[in-house]
Amino acid sequence: MEGTPRALKWLSAVTGVLFLIALGMVLFYAPEEAVMGNVQRVFYFHVAAGWVGGLAFLVTALAGIAFLARRDPKWDRVAQASVEVGIVFTFINIVSGSIWARPIWNTWWTWDPRLVTATVMELIYLAYVMLRQGIEDPERRARFGSVYGIVGFISVPITFLSIRLLRTIHPVVIGSNDPSAQGAFDMTPAMLQTFMFSLLTFTFVYATLLWHRLRLQNLMERVEQMKMKVFAS
């Protein structure tokens, strides 16, 4: 069994260091928000997790296009692995948003456009995983997954634009903000630096997890091939 590639070991180490630095910046470097207090610190990882979710689903759509164009199974593996990572981080985004919302909105959940569209997006990709499991033929499963991943990506820009196009109480982090949005705030330079560093860190986290998930998937396929050879003999 082949070992972990050296590049992946280095990437994992760098990602771990970046995450510790980001955590330190969130807890100690970024100032306490004047109105919301310490609960505002959830914002840095909340937005970063949402960014990773959108990035992961974009990679899934691009991998789907690549598979339909070249019929190379590796792109289907990339799409599947990226969806799984995206689902996890979108869930983190939704849960961390609820933690932030409880003291700010005085409720864990409200039917705000951003919350609804983010949850629908999560359900769309959960359905992607479950529907793939119901298709036995690998070629047909890959084609279905590619088309689904491309069409399903429509939910990502809808989620992003929901708070800019619809009446909402969810604050807009970057760009024009509605002063009436509950939880809206302006970032100091230290807050902005922490925010951008968190986005960078979570991007590294995504790349690291995607690479690990692809290695695991390749190893699982090799095990299945070995089992088939054993049974055939």
Does residue 31 sit in helix, strand or coil?
A: coil
How high is the pLDDT of residue 233?
A: 67
How high is the pLDDT of residue 82?
A: 98
Q: Which residues contact 47 (CB under 8 A, 6 or more apart)?
A: 93, 173, 195, 198, 199
Residue pLDDT, tens place only, 123-174: 999 999 999 999 988 899 999 999 999 999 999 999 999 888 777 777 776 6
How high is the pLDDT of residue 27?
A: 95
Question: What average pLDDT score do residues 194-206 get?
Answer: 97
Predicted TM-score (pTM) of the model is 0.90
Mean pLDDT for all residues in the chain = 89
How high is the pLDDT of residue 66?
A: 98
Residue with token string 């807890």: 27
List alpha helices for 71-110, DSSP H.
73-105
Please report, as a single letter, which amino acid is at residue 172.
V
Residue pLDDT, tens place only, 41-82: 999 999 999 999 999 999 999 999 999 999 999 999 999 999
